[in-house]
Amino acid sequence: MSESGANTMWGGRFAGGVDAIMEAINASIGFDKRLAAQDIAGSRAHAAMLAAQGIISAQDAAAIDAGLEQVADEIASGAFPFRTELEDIHMNVEARLRELIGAPAGRLHTARSRNDQVGVDFRLFVREQCDAAIAGIDALMRAFLAQAEAGADWVMPGFTHLQTAQPVTWGHHMLAYVEMLARDRSRFADARARMNECPLGAAALAGTSFPIDRDATARALGFDRPTANSLDSVSDRDFAIEFLSAASICAMHLSRFAEELVIWSSAQFRFVTLSDAFSTGSSIMPQKKNPDAAELLRAKLGRVMGAQVALLVVMKGLPLTYSKDMQEDKEQLFDAADTLMLGLAAMAGMVRDMAANRDALAAAAASGFSTATDLADWLVRALNLPFRDAHHVTGTLVRMAEEAGCDLPDLSLAQMQSVHPGITAEVFEVLGVENSVRSRISYGGTAPDRVREQVARWKDALG
């Protein structure tokens, strides 16, 4: 096929032919320029170490450091001339450094490779994203805690299969998400601790013959230690996958609450009212107040999970050590990190601003035979019935109430005694939803006193 024919097939965007297509495939500067700060920090640490070890002169190291500082300022101001033909952030920075300081710039890459360079840049970035995620989670946990404290004794239905199961408290429901987020927080902290090893000095894959001090560069960049195997150092992306794993689980938790907000804010439930800041109206139905922020988060957070799968697929077939495939590790993670941070911030805003409808919650808690388990428990305690027998008696009474079109507390004592003569008037003391939640005093239970204890524990833990 002629080049002109090929260009027609490939499209006008690649009018330059094969070279333009290869440049488009190969270049990563369009996205990895986001690693500029990390790349410059790694280079400054590397140059300082080279000088301390006598590998380059102090004068060259000083020139390199001053030049890199100027490059950082240009990037921060938006004046830096990023060039696609230089492929990536590393070559763009080094080329600009050479323009600024001349020959000393050529000494910066002594005893390193782009393989260990990108490894340290990416670890620094992902480590920062772990810290950002933890901060975002803390803010969201505090928002849930404020809701839990305000509604420690507000009754609402607890659900299984989205069917009314037993009464719980609003505070208890809010605290369930605090527990989930605490696990998310610990996963990011664990991932951060595991990734906090410095690959700089592994060079291309085998280490270097120069007398470098890897401990010095690790310390300078805030790592706990240097990585112990040069092959693993340049081929490892576990740290990115682990971040995405923690992010995916956290995103799943956020999406679950987004789903609850969509349900709860509906006219059929009316459990919560979302603030205008996180809702929109309908273009033709003036009565509508749509939970758009919750719906968008529910969709957007799927991208985080997709990023994890995408990076796993990239890495699963790669032999040691570095392959160009690994250039595809960044765009997905950048997008996932941005999506997660947006999700955490938006959810914190929605939780802080939402107003629970206490009356609607209480009315729903009292419907659907939510105290049936309390009745069965009472039959065991008061009449010494085996639980299976108590379960059968309770089921019969539920059916009786259904046929009568009422709830369990509305049955008369005579009706209840027709099912089991041992039932006394004391049974009505356990059938109210307020009594039900107060009775759930086991550790981790929904009783208001237990909720307040957990709120105090978490407030103390978060400081």
3-state secondary structure 137-154: HHHHHHHHHHHHHHCCCC
- What pLDDT sits at residue 436? 86
Tell me the C-alpha distance between 340 and 302, whole Å. Answer: 10
Tell me the C-alpha distance between 233 and 123, whole Å. Answer: 11
Q: What angle do CA 78, 122, 232 make, to 5 degrees?
A: 155
- What pLDDT sits at residue 2? 40
- What pLDDT sits at residue 14? 54
- What pLDDT sits at residue 1? 39
Choosing from 2, 4, 161, 283, the catalytic residue is 161
Tell me the C-alpha distance between 123 and 132, whole Å. Answer: 14
Choosing from 275, 282, 323, 367, the catalytic residue is 282
State how far the alpha carbon of 243 is from the alpha carbons of 54, 81, 194, 330, 364, in Å.
37, 32, 11, 12, 40
Tell me the C-alpha distance between 17 and 8, whole Å. Answer: 10
Query: Per the structure block, which two tokens stand in for 204?
Result: 């291309």
Tell me the C-alpha distance between 46 and 453, whole Å. Answer: 51
pLDDT tens sequence across 63-113: 999 999 999 999 999 999 999 889 899 999 999 999 999 999 999 999 999
- What pLDDT sits at residue 369? 78
Q: Which residues of the chain have pLDDT under 70?
A: 1-18, 280-288
- What pLDDT sits at residue 410? 86
3-state secondary structure of 124: helix
3-state secondary structure 364-408: HHCCCCCCHHHHHHHHHHHHCCCHHHHHHHHHHHHHHHHHHCCCH
Please indicate whether residue 161 is annotated as part of the active site.
yes
Helices (H), 199-326: 214-220, 230-235, 238-264, 292-300, 302-315
State how far the alpha carbon of 266 is from the alpha carbons of 66, 151, 157, 261, 359, in Å.
59, 20, 16, 8, 15
160 phi and psi angles, rounded to 5 deg: -130, 140
Taking the CA atoms of residue 438, residue 439, residue 445 and residue 446 in that order, the dihedral angle to the nearest 10 degrees is: -30
- What pLDDT sits at residue 7? 44
Q: What stretch of H or E contains 226?
A: strand 225-226
Peptide bond into 321 cis (omega under 30): yes
Closest alpha carbon to 234 in 336, 339, 115, 332: 115
- What pLDDT sits at residue 19? 77
- What pLDDT sits at residue 6? 45
Could you tell me what percent of the chain has a pLDDT over 70? 94
How far from the centroid of its chain's Cα atoms is residue 396's Cα? 46
Torsion-angle region of residue 56: left (phi > 0), alpha (psi -120 to 50) or beta? beta
- What pLDDT sits at residue 284? 47
pTM of the predicted model as reported, rounded to 2 decimal places: 0.89
Question: Do 271 and 154 form a contact (C-beta atoms < 8 A)?
Answer: no
Looking at residue 96, what DSSP letter applies?
Answer: H
* Helices and strands, counts by H and E, the chain: 21, 6
Please indicate whether residue 391 is annotated as part of the active site.
no
Would strands 225-226 and 197-198 be described as parallel, antiparallel, or unpaired? parallel
Question: Do 153 and 171 form a contact (C-beta atoms < 8 A)?
Answer: yes
- What pLDDT sits at residue 406? 87
